[in-house]
Every structure is written in structure tokens, then in C-alpha cells.
Chains A and B, each alone.
Chain A
Amino acid sequence: MEVLTAIKRVPETGAKIVLTEDKRDIDTSSLGFTFSPHEECAVEEGVQLVEANGGNMTALTLGEEDATEQLRSAIAMGADDGLLLPTDGGEWGPKATASAIASAVEAEKTDFDLFLFGNESADTANHQVGVRVAEHLDVPCVTGVKDLDVDGDTAVAKREIPGGAEVYEVDLPAVITVKEGLNEPRYPSMRAKMQARKASVDQVEPEPTDDGLELLELEVPETDDSPADILGESPEAADEVVDVLEELEVL
């Protein structure tokens, strides 16, 4: 079974986000980078499917050269290969990203059975790339999946909806976008991490297309600065805590 999982390098932010001077980006000077919990689940799922069924799991990302670091993290989690679609670091919109990924997939020798995406990226959260790639490749797509079974040429994907769940059975190849909770992503072992650092990562130059979108400015939402009330130190604070909980009607 051939699985391709797409991930995106995003800054690992704290509670307060600091913007660059032109307000068009996040100031990442003291931040690390990661990929989102949804995508961690996607990688884990792909790795588990390949472990169970044999085959190969390829991690793909579109981004600056440094995004290789995230591909290596995926390899440390068990991905077999990494594929970077290098950019100059600027943000590509969902349309351009999807088009580049689809072109790369078509150019690959491998016939993929399954394309896994995170439901949305952790930074821009456009919810589009997976869907657009499916459109390009002309394969079925299920989004927001929190339970996935693959049996031969079919996948059974379950997504939560208010008050219940929807279950889809789709023929492979297909695009599945997944959400956190799908599985429990593993922490890579130290040996895997070290080997991943030495793994080679392929690059395929993506063809930029016009997205028709331009980011003008980011805005940081007002944060709730209301002060925390210290009710006392345990255990004498217990009564007051109960009062507050009652006031909030949680008791």
C-alpha cells in the first residue's frame, strides 16, 4: 500500500502571538517549528497502515528549505520517504499549494492508494488543500475524519457531526483529511530520530500558480486580561472554590 501524507511547517506559538513589523507574518525569532496535531495523526495513521499492509509511506511538504526538518520528524515517526516542494519561504495560498501537490503526485512514479491530510493547517486554517488536491486528482474525498479503516481497495471513514456520526465507504485511491483524536501519535525514538537526520529527502521544484489571493494584514485578537483571583492556598481555599464552581453552575 502506498500512502502519501502531507504536512505543513508551522511555528510553535505560545499563548501570545507576536507579529512582524509589517503585520503580514508571525515573528518567529524565538519560536520553534512543528506540524499540527491533525497532521501528526495523519502521519501516524499512514505509518500504521503501512506497518499493517506493507508498502511505503511518503511524507510531503511544500515550504522553505527548513521544512525538511518537519519531513525528518515524520520520517522519525516512521515515514519511509520525504518529499519537499521547495519555496522561497513565502506563504502559498490553498489553490496554489493544492495544484503544486497534485502536480508532484502526478509526476511521481508511485501510484498512491491513499492521500492523508490534516483537516486544516495550524496557522492559516483554510480547510482547502486536501479537498482541492482530490479535485485535481479526481479522486473521492472525506474530510474531518476521526476513524479510518482500510480494507483492500476500500476505506471506511467516520466523521463526527453534531449529534452523531457519518460513515463513508470510498474506493481507493482517495483523499482523507483527518482530525486530532484519530489515533495517538507516537513519540519518535531517539534512534529513529537520529536515523531520520541522516535520511535523504527528495526535492521536486513546484510550479507556482496564481492564487488570486493576497494577504494584507494579520491581526492579533484581544486577549482576556481579566485578572485571576487567588482564593487562597490549599486546603483552606476549598470552600471558596466550591462557591465559585456553584456560581458557574458546574456543580
Chain B
Amino acid sequence: MSTNDLPQSAGTVIIGAGIVGSSLAGELAERGRDDILLIDKGPLSDPGGSTGHASNFIFPVDHSKDMTKLTSVSRDIYRDFDTFTNSGGIEVARTEERMEELKRRVVSAKSFGEEAELLTPEEVEELVPYLNTDIIKGGFYSPGAGTCDPLRAGELYRQQAKDKGALSTAANTEVTDLHVEDGDIQAVETDAGTVAADEVIIAAGLWSPKIAEMAGVDIPLSPAVHQMVSVGPIERFEDGEGEINYPVVRDMDTQMYERQHGNDIEVGSYEHRPILWDVDDVPSIEEAPLSPTQPPLTEDAFEQSMEHALEIIPDVLDDPDAGIRHSIDGLLSVTPDGHPLLGPIPEVDGLWSCAAIWIKEAPAIAREVSKWMTKGHPDIDIVAHDHVARFDEYGETREFVKSRGAEGFQKTYGIVHPREQWQSTRPLRTSAFYNRQEDLDAEFFEAGGWERPRWYESNADLVEKYSDEIEGLQRPNEWDSRWWSDIILGEHLHMRDNVGMIGDTGFGIFDIVGDDAMENMQQLCVAEMDVDVGESAYTPVLAPNAGFVSDLTVARIGENHYRVITGGAHAGQDKTWFQNHLEGDVELIGRSSELATLGVWGPNAQELLNELAEEEMSTDTFDFAEMKEVTIGPVRVQAFRISYVGEYGWELYVPMDQGQKLWDTIYEAGQEYDIRPVGTGVYGETGRMEKSYRLMGAELEIDYNPAEAGLTFHGVKDADFVGKEAYVEAIEAENAATLCTLSVTDHAPDGGEPRFMTGGEPILDQDGDVLIDDEGRRSYVTSAGTGPSVGKHLLLSYLPQEYANEGEELQVEYFGQHYPVEVEVVGHGGVFDPEGDRLFRNDY
């Protein structure tokens, strides 16, 4: 029961006063929200959620640029509040494989601007004298790592907002319902009364799904156990001042950490079997002996971790006076892909999610979400990979969340390959082609929940056939070739020589329908949308700052009917963006699960389809980018003359129930041409890289504008659109950086095994220094892929203007080695067929 007098209304209600909710209160007040109410069912300053039992250390280096940045900004915020202790941190390796991974982490640190170095066991010992260096191969030292005090930081954030007169708090107040009317959030009901609200943010940590359910929506996370014990008193620590005097140690191969906390050492583990909770089983504050998120340690699960801790730091754990003083199954939040759940909840206007966030990145995420709420977009990209809507239409069931959450838990300190695939709950979304593809021994990758063939083992003969072309492009190194096959190169060459069929590409598809459809589309897209029915455009969608919200294809299939086609992994984000911006007589209708997509591309595509289609399919009847209905065998499809692989041909959109018939019809007739099914290894990598086609979330992101991305070929239309002003400014201004295509000119400069970069590596000048543009942005590989038709391994990277010159010689760092690279293309345009002769079929 609350003792606070709840206001009758508030502009903004934040549910949850842990580090996330408290940071949000402070950051929103900073950005002008002046009527904020922060509610928590627990007491302040520790309301009993995960913030209260976190081990509070901050390791800044991550293989993701955005996470590294968010952590670094959070560290600055904790430091400004005087709640950060810079202890440094060391990740130790017990195996050679881990040492390689640590090298990769040094490379990521360099890419994203964080200090880091490798240490020998002796150097580790100098920094952490109590560590048993007999069992380690070395370490990764992050001098910028440290520990923070999130409870204190939360207090200071709240105080800051209160000092502005912008915040009131209601502790010990439990939210019992959310009122939604006509898709708008109306009010928050609590056990102390109801508060009308314009906007509501769910920042309730592992209780977030429960709160979301009150509004009839999903926040797909699950509580999961992270075991932690505290051992003390340790004599060695008694003389030190403050909380921590030695670097935090992460024993990566056992998925554990050991960190000094005053006179104790905290030993935490992600090694134990995944123990996932149901949110309804989490006890109330009154029922919980310690706190709701600190249930007692499951002893048998921790047994192996004790052994490993005793191996790595026996000197402190065997201190004769030291005992286990505290042990918990600490509950935290896991999500299906390990990323946070942020942003506007698509189904309810004014309802936001800010959940599943680690202490180390919480303040910065709160800052970015508050920008998103107040000015329409964040400045660090938390949209592409962290949007709460990314599991839209498929990944929100409890079983899915739990199985993926459990799988992801085991990867917490894992060596995760950039192409690594999830294993659990598959297949989940299968297209109409799935059975046929399985028969052809497809190796499936997943995107947006859809099973998509990456390559087909049945095409193994193509490797032999094209052995001359692909010589030197195969990957002898195990890491480089993991989740990859040289069959991809064969499929690629076959498609360029002949014809290939690619499906299903797992697109996110939705229609925008209504009298005001055109005006809305104009407002949201850079390209001209007032086009003839049947015409289409590939267009950026921009935030007000001209950063990328999305790039997608729009076809006008009726006077008041547009079809939007976007990447499957980005469907939920884009739908939410459109949904939240639509005005007037217009509605959004999801089509992703209704339509299967089959691309037929290559020199023989026209001949093959012409034989099958009732209508003529040729350059005479189809302009480039034209979409219209044709009949192929017994099936009616929307044929779209476009391509992401730089070839002449069509994407065929077919009702899901007739997709298999379409596949069979084309596959059988195609035997005459030796048609091959081709995987997304070609579609998403080799084909697009040869053409330097950009990928949302890789090249296209909030940090770079369309001029820098080389996507201003639309010019500036007359109609107004979101981001127009900044877009015009970007076109007129001198680029600070430009997206370039580079090729690796020597894969083994020091001899030995040739290596092939996978993405994320820093670009260096001839002196070995990372390139940094005038805005402080560092150059790194946004995408990497082999171009078999050009015989080169290709990299995309934004380069500072002075380096963005064709023929410029630079270097790329990969696992600690430098490799020479050369700039092939500056800005728009591919290495292969730069004039687009194939795509436009200019030679026919």
C-alpha cells in the first residue's frame, strides 16, 4: 500500500524505479518533460529488482559498435555522478581458442574506440597477484573497465529531475492495470489510485511482460537465474581503500567472473544450466527472504562453478577466515536474441518499453530512449537491433522466449561467430518453398524467424565446375569458413552465367491503404511516391536528422494502395515507424505471412519465365522496377522487375498457399536451363557486395546520412517528408565520410594461411592508425563478403573524405594482423557491372 498521494494525472508515467526507470526520469526531465511520475511497487532506493543485486561491473568492449558506445557513455554518466570506480578489467583465457577470441576483442576495441591490449600470464599476475596463472594462456586487458553504483546513480538521477520540479515518485505503489482506449494509452491504475497519463514507459525489468500484458501487448523477455556468491572476509583485501583495488576478472572459458567488493570477493557464474523462471512465480517483496530477485542459490547447479573458482583464485578463496557469506540465484532478464527491448510498442500509442538492459549500458540507453521520445529518434542506433517490435508476428510466445533465452544465456561469455545461428525452436516460420528446399539439402539460416536457405548442398557440383574462378577465394581457416560454404561461390557464378531461383527471402511486407495513402507515403519516403500505379521505388526512410530509419522498396499497386517490402529482420521496426506516423484515412495491413517471394535472376531468367507466363515478360513489357500481375502456369503472381543481386529478372510475389506450385512450375521448366536454387549467401552477401548494395543495420544506420551512404540518387522531391531539411543539408554539405567498397589485395601478407574478414574490423592508414573522420567516427568494416565474379574479397566501410579515393591503399586489421586493402568504389555503384548493364539489360 502506498503512503503517497498519487496525482490524478501525469504527462509521463515511468513504471519501475531501478537504474533504468530512474535514469529515464532524469534524462526525460533533462529533455523538457516536466510532469513525470515514477512508480515502483518496492521501496526506494532499492525497490527489489535486478538493479539491487547486480555485480555492477562495466566491461566496455563488445563486438557491437552500438553496445560499446552505449557502455562507454554510461560509464561517463556514472563517472559524472561520482559513482564509477576505474578498476580495470581482465578477461582471461584458459584455451588457445579463447586467446584467438581475445585477439578479436582487441580488434573490436580498436574499431569502436576503446583501449585494450593482450597480456601474457605474467602480466596478468602483476595486476591480479592472487590469480592462478598456471592455468591461463593470457588475458585481454581493458584499462577502462570498472565498477559502478547504480542505486546511488538512480538516486542522483531522481534528485536531478526533482530539482527541476519535473518528477514525483510513488514508491510502494503497485501497478494493477493499464487503461487503453482506441489504441491509445489512457491511464495507469495502481493500488493507490488511478493516474491519467499521456505516455507510459514500462521499465519494470523482469516484471515488464506482466505490465505489458495489462495493456494486451507483449514484451518478450523471461526472468533467468545468474548465480552469484560472495566470499569473505579476505585478509588480502583488508588494507585496500574503497570498494575495489584489483581489476575485475572474467574467467571467460568457464563463463564466470571474480571481483573484489570491499573485503569480499564476488564470484558470479553464467556457466550453470539455464534456469528460467516464470514471471508469475517471482515472489512478492513481502514473501521474499532477501528480495524478489534474489532467490536462494540452487546448490547443485553451482557445483562446477565452485570448482572453477577454486582453480582460478585459490589464494583468496582458501583464506582461512573466509566463508560464503551470501549466495543467490540472482534473477535478471533474458530475451530471444540477447538484445534489450526498447522503443514504442506498436499496438498502443504512447506506450514504450525500456527493458532487458544490463547495468553497464542502462543510463545511456535511457538517454537514447528519452531522445527517441522527445525528438523522434535516438542518436545512437538502438533501433535496428534493439527495437521491442523486432519479434513482431512470430517471436513473442512464452515458449519461444524461454527457449531462445536459455540458448542465449549459454552464450553470455561465449565465442559467438558473427554468422552463428540460433538452434532452438526451429523451424518456426517456413515459407511455401520449405519442403522443396529441404529436399535439396538446403542449409537454413534464420531471419525474422523465417527459415531461409543459405546455400544448397545439392549444388556441391558447382564448386567443381567453377574451380578456376573460385580458386584463392576458398577459406582454409576454420573461423573464416564457419557458417559458410564455398558452394555459395558456385551458386553465385551459376546465377550470373545462367539462372538461379532464390526464395523465400523472408521479407517483411505490409500494405498502406486508404484515401490518404499517397500523402502519407510521400511524408515518410525520400523517393517520389506520387507515381503511376505499377511503378515502384527503392527508398530511404529517414529520421528527422536524416539518419536511416530504413531502406525499403515501395510499389504503388493501386491508386490508394502501396506495398512496402523490407528486410524480414526489420519488419517490426518499420511497421511501428509507419504505424506511428500515419495520419488521416489510411491503414497498415501486415502481409508478411501471406506472401512468399521467389526471385528468378540471371541471363536465362527472361527466356525461362517467358515460356511459362501467359503474358510477355521482357524489357518491352516490364520497365525496370515495374510491378504487375502475371500468370505463371496455374498461379497468378505479382511480378516485380528488381534485384538485390544486380541481375536481370523478377521477384515473384505469390500467395503462400500457391507458393509450392510456383516453385515446382519454375523448377521443372528450368531444368532445361539447369536452373539452380540459390541461397541467401548469394542474395545477402556475394551478390549484394559485388554491387555494393547497402544493408540496413550495417551500412545504413542513424550515425550516417544518405549523402555519406551514397544514397542521394533520388535528389530532392518537391513534397515535404520526414528528415527533408537535414537531408538537403547533408547533400549540400561536404561529406565527413563516404561509404566505400574496398578489396583485400593480399590475404596472407606474412605468408601462411590466407584470411577472410567477416565484418567489424578497423580500417587503418599505412602507419597502422585507425581512420577517424572529422566527426570522430571511426572507420570499420560494416559488411564483408566475397565477390566471386570479380575474384576479390570485398569490404564496405565509411572512410574519412581524404581517404575516399579510388585506388587509395589502406589496411584492415584482423585477429591482430594487418592486411593491405584498396578502395575500389567511392559511394554509390558496385565493383561488378558498375553501369548496371545486366540489371537494366542494356545489352539486349
A187 to B319, CA, bound (A): 12
Q: Does B842 contact A (CB under 8 A)?
A: no
Q: Does B7 contact A (CB under 8 A)?
A: no
Query: How far apart are A47's CB and chain B's nearest CB, in angstroms?
Result: 13
Q: Does B447 contact A (CB under 8 A)?
A: no
Q: Does B323 contact A (CB under 8 A)?
A: yes
- For B309, give its contact among A14, A30, A190 (CB under 8 Å): A190
Query: How far apart are B491's CB and chain A's nearest CB, in angstroms?
Result: 53
Q: Does B297 contact A (CB under 8 A)?
A: yes
A14 to B299, CA, bound (A): 20
Contact A187 B296 (CB under 8 A): no
Query: How far apart are A12's CB and chain B's nearest CB, in angstroms?
Result: 5
- For B299, give its contact among A31, A69, A225, A228 (CB under 8 Å): A69
Closest residue of chain A to B284 (Cβ to Cβ) is: A16
A230 to B3, CA, bound (A): 8
Contact B323 A188 (CB under 8 A): yes
Instruction: Chain B residues near A197: list those with CB within 8 A.
Output: 299-300, 303, 306
- For A30, give its contact among B2, B287, B322 (CB under 8 Å): B287
A18 to B287, CA, bound (A): 7
- For A188, give its contact among B281, B290, B324 (CB under 8 Å): B324
- For B289, give its contact among A12, A69, A227 (CB under 8 Å): A12
- For B317, give its contact among A72, A191, A229 (CB under 8 Å): A191
Contact B317 A227 (CB under 8 A): no
Contact B3 A30 (CB under 8 A): no
Instruction: Chain A residues near B289: list those with CB within 8 A.
Output: 12-14, 31-32
- For A189, give its contact among B172, B287, B299, B318 (CB under 8 Å): B318
Instruction: Chain A residues near B322: list those with CB within 8 A.
Output: 187, 189
Q: Which of A99-132 contact B (CB under 8 A)?
A: none
Q: Which of A23-79 contact B (CB under 8 A)?
A: 29-33, 69, 72
Contact B306 A225 (CB under 8 A): no
Instruction: Chain A residues near B284: list those with CB within 8 A.
Output: 16
- For A31, give its contact among B1, B229, B296, B323 (CB under 8 Å): B296
Q: A14-B289, A228-B3 are in contact. Are A32 and B297 (CB under 8 A)?
A: yes
Query: How far apart are B268's CB and chain A's nearest CB, in angstroms?
Result: 13
Q: A15-B286, A32-B289 are in contact. Are A189 and B324 (CB under 8 A)?
A: yes
Contact A190 B306 (CB under 8 A): yes
Closest residue of chain A to B318 (Cβ to Cβ) is: A191
Q: A13-B289, A188-B323, A189-B317 are in contact. Are A227 and B3 (CB under 8 A)?
A: yes
Query: How far apart are A51's CB and chain B's nearest CB, in angstroms?
Result: 13
Contact A30 B281 (CB under 8 A): yes
Instruction: Chain A residues near B296: list those with CB within 8 A.
Output: 12, 31-33
Q: Does A146 contact B (CB under 8 A)?
A: no
Instruction: Chain B residues near A136: list those with CB within 8 A.
Output: none
Contact B287 A14 (CB under 8 A): yes
Contact B324 A190 (CB under 8 A): yes
Interface string of A72-105 (1 = CB under 8 A from B): 1000000000000000000000000000000000
Query: How far apart are A60's CB and chain B's nearest CB, in angstroms?
Result: 20
Query: How far apart are A226's CB and chain B's nearest CB, in angstroms?
Result: 10
Q: Tell me the dominant secondary structure on chain A's binding face.
A: loop
Contact A193 B306 (CB under 8 A): yes
Q: Which of A221-244 contact B (CB under 8 A)?
A: 225, 227-230
Closest residue of chain A to B319 (Cβ to Cβ) is: A189
Contact B318 A29 (CB under 8 A): no
Contact A227 B286 (CB under 8 A): no
Q: Does B790 contact A (CB under 8 A)?
A: no
Q: A190-B324, A194-B310, A229-B3 are in contact. Are A30 and B282 (CB under 8 A)?
A: yes
Instruction: Chain A residues near B2: list those with CB within 8 A.
Output: 227
Contact B287 A187 (CB under 8 A): no
Contact A193 B287 (CB under 8 A): no
Instruction: Chain B residues near A190: list those with CB within 8 A.
Output: 229, 231, 267, 306, 309-310, 317, 324
Query: How far apart are A211's CB and chain B's nearest CB, in angstroms?
Result: 29
Query: How far apart are B87's CB and chain A's nearest CB, in angstroms?
Result: 22
Q: Does B295 contact A (CB under 8 A)?
A: yes
Contact A194 B286 (CB under 8 A): no
Instruction: Chain A residues near B288: list those with CB within 8 A.
Output: 14, 30
Query: How far apart are B256's CB and chain A's nearest CB, in angstroms?
Result: 12
A227 to B173, CA, bound (A): 12
Count of chain B residues with a beta carbon within 8 Å of a chain A beta carbon: 34
Q: Does B419 contact A (CB under 8 A)?
A: no
Interface string of A191-223 (1 = CB under 8 A from B): 101100100000000000000000000000000
Query: How far apart are A70's CB and chain B's nearest CB, in angstroms?
Result: 11
A230 to B4, CA, bound (A): 9
A31 to B284, CA, bound (A): 12
Contact B281 A29 (CB under 8 A): yes
Interface string of B187-229 (1 = CB under 8 A from A): 0000000000000000000000000000000000000000001
Closest residue of chain A to B171 (Cβ to Cβ) is: A230
- For A227, give its contact among B1, B299, B307 (CB under 8 Å): B1
A17 to B322, CA, bound (A): 33
A193 to B281, CA, bound (A): 28
Most buried by B among A29, A187, A225: A187
Q: A194-B307, A227-B3 are in contact. Are A32 and B287 (CB under 8 A)?
A: no
Contact A225 B1 (CB under 8 A): yes
Most buried by B among A15, A32, A186, A230: A32
A225 to B3, CA, bound (A): 11
Query: How far apart are A124's CB and chain B's nearest CB, in angstroms?
Result: 19
Closest residue of chain B to A190 (Cβ to Cβ) is: B317
A188 to B172, CA, bound (A): 36
Interface string of A138-170 (1 = CB under 8 A from B): 000000000000000000000000000000000
Contact A30 B324 (CB under 8 A): no
A17 to B289, CA, bound (A): 10
Q: A32-B289, A32-B296 are in contact. Are A187 and B283 (CB under 8 A)?
A: no
Q: Which of B260-288 contact A (CB under 8 A)?
A: 267, 281-288
Instruction: Chain A residues near B281: list those with CB within 8 A.
Output: 29-30
Query: How far apart are A134's CB and chain B's nearest CB, in angstroms?
Result: 32
Closest residue of chain B to A196 (Cβ to Cβ) is: B299
Instruction: Chain A residues near B303: list those with CB within 8 A.
Output: 194, 197
Contact B318 A187 (CB under 8 A): no
Contact A191 B287 (CB under 8 A): no
Closest residue of chain A to B155 (Cβ to Cβ) is: A233
Closest residue of chain A to B297 (Cβ to Cβ) is: A32
Contact A14 B324 (CB under 8 A): no
Instruction: Chain A residues near B229: list those with CB within 8 A.
Output: 190
Closest residue of chain B to A30 (Cβ to Cβ) is: B283
Instruction: Chain A residues near B317: list those with CB within 8 A.
Output: 189-191
Instruction: Chain A residues near B325: list those with CB within 8 A.
Output: 187
Interface string of B1-42 (1 = CB under 8 A from A): 111000000000000000000000000000000000000000
Instruction: Chain B residues near A15: list those with CB within 8 A.
Output: 286-287
Contact B1 A30 (CB under 8 A): no
A65 to B229, CA, bound (A): 25
Query: How far apart are B260's CB and chain A's nearest CB, in angstroms?
Result: 15
A225 to B286, CA, bound (A): 11
Closest residue of chain B to A189 (Cβ to Cβ) is: B323
A120 to B400, CA, bound (A): 48
A230 to B1, CA, bound (A): 13
A190 to B227, CA, bound (A): 14
Instruction: Chain B residues near A12: list those with CB within 8 A.
Output: 289, 296
State the 9 A-B residue pairs at the shortest beta-carbon distance, nearest first: A32-B296, A187-B323, A16-B286, A227-B3, A30-B283, A194-B306, A14-B289, A14-B288, A14-B287
A-B residue pairs in contact (CB < 8 Å), sample of 9: A12-B289, A30-B283, A31-B289, A32-B295, A32-B296, A186-B323, A190-B231, A194-B303, A197-B300
Assuming A13-B289, A189-B320, what are 5 further A-B pairs, CB within 8 angstroms?
A14-B286, A16-B284, A31-B283, A189-B318, A191-B318
